[in-house]
Homo-oligomer: A and B are copies of this chain.
């Protein structure tokens, strides 16, 4: 792809993201996307075979960003010298990342379309929540071997799920039901994180 074509490709993707996130899959037309990207509809079709491929590329792009966001976050936990401090820091990072408006809009969109595109929803689930939980479970299991956690049983993945849902369920579900205009003060989010760490450590330390 030459650089002019690459720029157009990027402009179409950005326009399509905006339109899909605000109007949903059914409400979005290739015309809307072309208009917002300031290209012709033929140009859109030159880059993307159809609305479905464009939608899939956007979901995959969102997953790439989730990967970037979480790749470093869980890494150092297993080597902690102060479990409560580092788990609290991790919990606060998790809730801050996972309540970003753009990520929650993407979450809403995937959920809305999961019955129409179950493969895409499953990919999102596997590369998003499941991957984060697998990474975190690895760190928790290592903390178990170091004697800093116990009672993980043979299911560190379930413990990882308990950790992230304890932290994020209240704000994430409030946005899911009440709409993307819901916002949170950082202190409120930190409060959910800190309370979750208390519960988690009471159960697993």
Asked if A179 contacts B122 (CB within 8 A), the reply is yes
Asked if A177 contacts B108 (CB within 8 A), the reply is no
Interface residues, chain A, with chain B CB atoms under 8 Å away: 22, 24, 26-27, 108, 110-115, 118, 121-122, 124-125, 128-129, 151, 155, 158, 161-162, 165-166, 169-170, 173-174, 176-181, 195-196, 198-200, 202-204
The CA-CA distance from A110 to B173 in the complex, in Å, is: 11
Asked if B114 contacts A174 (CB within 8 A), the reply is no
The CA-CA distance from A161 to B191 in the complex, in Å, is: 14
Task: State how many copies of this chain the complex holds.
Answer: 2
- Report the minimum CB–CB distance from A194 to chain B (whole Å): 11
The CA-CA distance from A179 to B112 in the complex, in Å, is: 9
Cβ–Cβ < 8 Å partners of A121 in chain B: 177-179
Extra contacts besides A24-B26, A108-B115, A161-B170 (11): CB < 8 Å: A22-B115, A108-B112, A108-B114, A111-B177, A114-B179, A125-B173, A162-B196, A165-B169, A198-B203, A199-B199, A202-B203
